[in-house]
A and B are shown apart, each in its own frame.
With several copies, the nearest count.
Chain A
Amino acid sequence: MSATPQLPPVAKLEQKTVIDLVAKGKRIDERGPESYRPIQIQVGLIEKANGSAQVHLGKSKVLAGIKVQIGTPFPDTPDEGVLTVNAELVPLASPSFEAGPPSEAAIELSRVVDRGIRESKALDMKSLVLQKGKTVQVVYVDIYVLDHDGNLIDAASMAALAALVNSKVSKMEVKGDEVINKGGHHQLPLNNYPVAVTFAKVDRTIIVDPSLEEEQVMNARLTVTIDKNGDICAMQKGGLYGFTPDEVRKAVHMAVGKAAENRARIMAAAKG
């Protein structure tokens, strides 16, 4: 069951400061309403993964790792590989995270990142088939949150994309009953590069890339995931209140530019 979340007690005064600043077009960390925090992207940190990337979004830190395994296709898509996106909100990252099965926040995070990749057709699913209906590559995208200072969706979405771009997989084929290495490596075949851009509504103002302090006072959250053509491939509204239709429209338009900027950062970092 999903229940109204119990937010950590934030000092009322601090809360008011955050809101008042936003109302004046300012922010507590001195950014403008439409600015991201500093973004750092590092790829290839996890040598045992088929791809990996760490994103620092301000003080938020997210690590994504790709593992490619061998498995069977789903019965209704015998000519496609399998993509699994999983997010772990490990208790190392925040006093509000608990050990145990994925919380609804972790599930929402993984599903929003998953939709971005899947719906933009970023990963060429057909190329993952080794033997139709029988043997396919299973691509695991595991998102590991290491420090939670807000806007995990954008950090995770960037880390996942950078890790995919960073990927290196042995060339394989099926011989008889076995999967064997053909020799050589290739990148996972990517056709698109989706980037999530998240907005928060604080008081009556729309800001981009909310920090944790801002998330704790926001009315609602809207993520718009934009593909390489500037089209929308996923959206997700969250939070206890709503947006006016015009706020939605404004956010969607703003997302296109922000996504392009962040995509450029990812590509630069991932290709080294």
Chain B
Amino acid sequence: MNKLPEPKQPEKLIDDKGLRIDGRRLDELRPIKLEVGLLDKADGSAYIEQGKNKILVAVYGPREAHPKHIAMPERAVIRCRYHMAPFSVDERKNPAPSRREMELSKVIRESLEPVVLTDLYPRTTIDLFIEVLQSDGGSRCAGITAASLALADAGIPMKEMVAACAVGKIEGKLALDLSDAEDKYGEADIPVALVPNAGLVTLLQMDGHLTLSEFEQGFTMALEACKTLNAMQREVLKKKYATIKEAAEEREEAEVVA
């Protein structure tokens, strides 16, 4: 007896109108909020809310590799830590990294490696810290989406940004961007990360049960969603630079006036 009474399983994941428990259509993303540059100490940072996911990402680097023996003579080493706050999930999570967090740190790093111009910064590390403050299904994908923005915010040269989104199967139907409950009581989940212009899939995992044609259809849904998310990412950066430019212009004007 060391557990709280469990929240009940929802009776149905899709209602008669074809809507999901949070009112979404099957091919609809959850509400997304993206921000960059919130942290003072980090070289770059970003924040994403996707459904109830709340994820903060910081980038430090390129900086001197420490300890030195991890440095590589011809490129920067990318290091990545996906970590969940103890209060981010229903049952308190022990803060020591779990096997799941270690695996996700690896696949997230691998999803971002292809776009970072690591050969510009030999002997350094570029460190990515993804802190899941609240988790609601799809946190690895949301983490990748935010991490790309944090890298951009840190001024790390990249070919382009990576966006990620999962598609799943609930009650036999493919559904985009599963929430926690949908993931738990659904039948499959496929997280996908895409480098849109290069047309490269850099994250692909799956668990559950899918026929080949379900996979084919779901994979395509996920790729489309990645493109949508990539557009949002670019929008956020555009806004940021607009703000910076505006501020600069105002400063210039002020100087002219003065």
Chain B, Cβ-Cβ closest to A90: B131
Contact B92 A67 (CB under 8 A): yes
Secondary structure class of chain A's binding surface, majority of residues? mixed
Contacts A90-B129, A144-B85, A252-B215; is A1 near B105 (CB within 8 Å)?
yes
Q: How far is the CA of A173 from the CA of B89 in the complex (A)?
A: 23
A207 within 8 Å of B by Cβ? no
B200-214 interface code vs A (CB 8 A; 1 in, 0 out): 111111111111100
Contact A243 B200 (CB under 8 A): yes
Q: Which of A102, A104, A244 gathers the greatest number of chain B CB atoms within 10 Å?
A: A104
Contact A115 B207 (CB under 8 A): yes
B31 within 8 Å of A by Cβ? no
Contacts A3-B77, A45-B54, A245-B223; is A108 near B212 (CB within 8 Å)?
no
Residues of B within 8 A of A234 (CB): 205-207
Contact B87 A142 (CB under 8 A): yes
Residues of B within 8 A of A47 (CB): 52, 134
Contacts A70-B2, A241-B200, A244-B200; is A119 near B114 (CB within 8 Å)?
no
Interface residues on A, range: 35 or more
Q: How far is the CA of A179 from the CA of B75 in the complex (A)?
A: 55
A69 within 8 Å of B by Cβ? yes
B219 within 8 Å of A by Cβ? yes
B3 within 8 Å of A by Cβ? yes
Chain B, Cβ-Cβ closest to A229: B211
Contact A242 B202 (CB under 8 A): yes
Contact A92 B129 (CB under 8 A): yes
Looking at the assembled complex, report how far the CB atom of A156 sits from the nearest CB atom of chain B, in whole angstroms: 14
Contact A48 B90 (CB under 8 A): yes
Chain A, Cβ-Cβ closest to B75: A4
The 8 Å CB contact of B204, one of A59, A142, A172, A235, is A235
Residues of B within 8 A of A46 (CB): 54, 85, 87-88, 133-134
Contact A91 B129 (CB under 8 A): yes
Q: How far is the CA of A222 from the CA of B204 in the complex (A)?
A: 8
Chain A, Cβ-Cβ closest to B136: A48
Residues of B within 8 A of A52 (CB): 87
Residues of A within 8 A of B198 (CB): 242
The 8 Å CB contact of B102, one of A6, A49, A91, A107, is A107
- Per the 8 Å Cβ criterion, residues 141-173 of A in contact with B are 142, 144, 146-149, 170, 172
Chain A, Cβ-Cβ closest to B89: A48
Chain A, Cβ-Cβ closest to B162: A242
Chain A, Cβ-Cβ closest to B216: A249
B10 within 8 Å of A by Cβ? no
* 5 pairs, CB–CB < 8 Å, chain A vs chain B: A6-B72, A90-B129, A92-B58, A147-B41, A233-B207
Q: Add 20 more A-B contacts to A237-B201, A248-B201 (CB < 8 A).
A: A2-B102, A3-B125, A4-B118, A6-B72, A47-B134, A48-B90, A65-B87, A67-B87, A76-B3, A95-B60, A140-B87, A142-B95, A178-B1, A178-B5, A231-B210, A235-B206, A236-B206, A237-B110, A241-B113, A243-B204
Chain A interface residues (CB < 8 Å from chain B)? 1-4, 6, 45-49, 52, 59, 61, 63, 65-72, 75-76, 86, 88, 90-95, 99, 101-102, 104, 107-108, 110-111, 115, 118-120, 135, 140, 142, 144, 146-149, 170, 172, 177-181, 220, 222, 227, 230-245, 248-249, 252-253, 256
Chain B interface residues (CB < 8 Å from chain A)? 1-6, 39-42, 52, 54, 56-58, 60, 63, 70, 72, 75, 77-81, 83, 85-92, 95-97, 99-100, 102-103, 105-110, 113-114, 118, 125, 127, 129, 131, 133-135, 190, 195, 198-212, 215-216, 219-220, 223
